[in-house]
Amino acid sequence: MIKANDPNLESWVNVPVNSDFPIQNLPLGIFKTDHLEARVGVRIGDDILDLKTLHVLGYLDNLPFSIEAFDTKTLNVLMKKGKRASRRLRDRISDLLNKDNTELQNNAHHVEQVLSSASAAQVLMPIEIGDYTDFYSSKEHATNVGTMFRDPNNALLPNWLHIPVGYHGRSSSVIPSGQDIHRPKGQTKPSEDQGPVFGASKMIDFELEMAFVTFDGKPLGDSITTEEAEDYIFGMVLFNDWSARDIQKWEYVPLGPFLAKNFASSISSWIVSLDALQPFAVDTPNQNPEVLDYLKFEGKKSYDINLQVAITPSQSEETIVCNSNFKYMYWNMAQQLAHHTVNGCNVRGGDLLGSGTISGPTPDSYGSMLELAWKGTKPVPMADGSERKFIQDGDTVTMRGFCKNDKIRIGFGEVASKLLPSK
């Protein structure tokens, strides 16, 4: 077992019951306050541990990190040190926050300097994303979409059960939780007997996803195997891959999504390490037909992460519209990364790889409005009495995720963004 994952550990920092951020989590992010410039922090309960100040005070000596790894506006410098160094950092922070360790705990002056209230801090975009790839790895989602728009008896395209289908997206429009977006404009084709028209999209949708962030991979021309893959994964975030369904329907043939997807994608602010998620590793769903050799893997490579989506209309309370789980994904992250690099494509530290929409086996676990409202034929009721076929101006979409067993809960916080009218 990874040392910092010990379920019996307790912190001297107060951690509320059912917090997403116990001592067994310790996710990394970037924060600033009225008195502190942007820097690397670790979330613990309702507080943030300031790693720059912790380093200056000498608590991170004997680790392979200079001050530059923590005095920075992104986690990219820290990630350059790789998996082993990140694990040592998490272990050291776990030791310092352990209730049985008085090294930092008994120095009140230092505690005051290194702990900030999360409610008084601004959490920023945690990484500079070089490249962003989005997969299409939920069998239930792909089947639902294929049933709606193609032959229900042949919902999956011939390649889907053989390769983790994906496309390269736009990293410049990946934004942090809390940043609002505007309804995008583009071409749509309202009917078969009518030509295309230009205007604001009328079918804005969320896509419930998780995404993983990579360490530096291998040189161009080399491949990462499924056995090696998790050594190149820094951690995971919640991911709302916004979509304009009417724009997408008209533009996606023959090259796939473009304007329908690149206007915004929102991520949660704290990156949860893959190490912290290990207690929640589970078997991947059965894959039939048998995959090719480079996609075969051993062990538990999927993760039991409970996911939830809520819609909050303007001036109203939220309505939970989806409860799903990351464990439903047909293709796991190790397979996605192996496939991504099998042709020699290189990944770099800070690259973001989205899971694709996560839909489960029941209607309440579908990960998009397209499915929940079944292409608009089954409007979803809101708590205020209104209905939704797609997302309306003023609506805030909030996604939450957490793992839980009988001893610990490891969470991601949330990713939330409001849809504003088109400019």
Question: Where does the pLDDT of residue 151 fall: very low under 50, low under 70, confident under 90, or very high at 90 and above?
Answer: confident
Report residue 5 as tokens. 């994952």
How much is the average pLDDT of 375-397? 97
Give the model's pLDDT for residue 341. Answer: 98
- 339 in catalytic set: no
Task: Match 């039991």 to its residue by tokens.
Answer: 304
Question: Where does the pLDDT of residue 165 fall: very low under 50, low under 70, confident under 90, or very high at 90 and above?
Answer: very high
Sequence-distant (6+) residues with CB within 8 A of 101 are 12, 95
- Is residue 293 pLDDT above 80, yes or no? yes
Task: Match 């690149």 to its residue by tokens.
Answer: 262
Give the model's pLDDT for residue 50. Answer: 98
| Residue of 35, 55, 109, 141 with catalytic role | 141
How much is the average pLDDT of 52-71? 97
> 211-227, pLDDT tens digit by residue?
999 999 999 999 999 99
| 132-420: CATH superfamily | Fumarylacetoacetase-like, C-terminal domain (3.90.850.10)
Task: Answer whether 124's CB lies under 8 Å from 110's CB.
Answer: no
Give the model's pLDDT for residue 54. Answer: 98
Residue extents of the structural domains in the chain:
3-124, 132-420
Sequence-distant (6+) residues with CB within 8 A of 59 are 92, 96, 103, 104, 110, 114
Buried b (16+ CB within 10 A) or exposed e, 100-124: eeeebbeeeebeeebbbebeebebb
- Is residue 36 pLDDT above 90, yes or no? yes
How much is the average pLDDT of 259-276? 98
- Closest residue by Cα to residue 23 from 101, 93, 110, 86: 93
How much is the average pLDDT of 67-82? 97
Give the model's pLDDT for residue 288. Answer: 97
Question: Where does the pLDDT of residue 27 fall: very low under 50, low under 70, confident under 90, or very high at 90 and above?
Answer: very high
Question: Omega before 289 cis (within 30°)?
Answer: yes
* Neighbouring C-beta atoms of residue 404, cutoff 10 Å: 15
Give the model's pLDDT for residue 86. Answer: 97
- Distance separating alpha carbons of residues 307 and 402, to the nearest angstrom: 7
Question: Where does the pLDDT of residue 85 fall: very low under 50, low under 70, confident under 90, or very high at 90 and above?
Answer: very high
Task: Answer whether 126's CB lies under 8 Å from 271's CB.
Answer: yes
Question: Where does the pLDDT of residue 366 fall: very low under 50, low under 70, confident under 90, or very high at 90 and above?
Answer: very high
How much is the average pLDDT of 138-149? 95
The whole-chain average pLDDT of the chain stands at 97
> 167-190, pLDDT tens digit by residue?
999 999 999 999 999 999 999 999
> 400-419, pLDDT tens digit by residue?
999 999 999 999 999 999 99
- Give backbone dihedrals phi and psi of 112, rounded to 5 degrees, phi first: -60, -35
Q: Which residue has the higher pLDDT, 153 or 387?
A: 387
Q: What is the pTM of this model?
A: 0.97
- Is residue 18 pLDDT above 80, yes or no? yes
Question: Where does the pLDDT of residue 1 fall: very low under 50, low under 70, confident under 90, or very high at 90 and above?
Answer: confident
- Give backbone dihedrals phi and psi of 81, rounded to 5 degrees, phi first: -80, -10
- Distance separating alpha carbons of residues 109 and 89, to the nearest angstrom: 23
> 313-363, pLDDT tens digit by residue?
998 999 999 999 999 999 999 999 999 999 999 999 999 999 999 999 999
- Bridge partners, residue 253, by sequence: none
Return the sign of the alpha-carbon dihedral for residues 272, 277, 282, 286: positive
Give the model's pLDDT for residue 38. Answer: 98
- Distance separating alpha carbons of residues 357 and 142, to the nearest angstrom: 9
DSSP designation for 121: S
Same fold, 3-124 and 132-420: no
Query: What would the CATH number be for the domain defined by 3-124?
Result: 2.30.30.230
- Is residue 109 pLDDT above 90, yes or no? yes
State the virtual CA torsion across 396, 141, 132, 161 in degrees, nearest 10.
170
- Is residue 275 pLDDT above 80, yes or no? yes
- Distance separating alpha carbons of residues 215 and 182, to the nearest angstrom: 32
Report residue 379 as tokens. 């409007």
- Bridge partners, residue 325, by sequence: 306
- Distance separating alpha carbons of residues 102 and 96, to the nearest angstrom: 8
Report residue 304 as tokens. 């039991």
Buried b (16+ CB within 10 A) or exposed e, 165-182: bbbebbbebbbbbeeebe
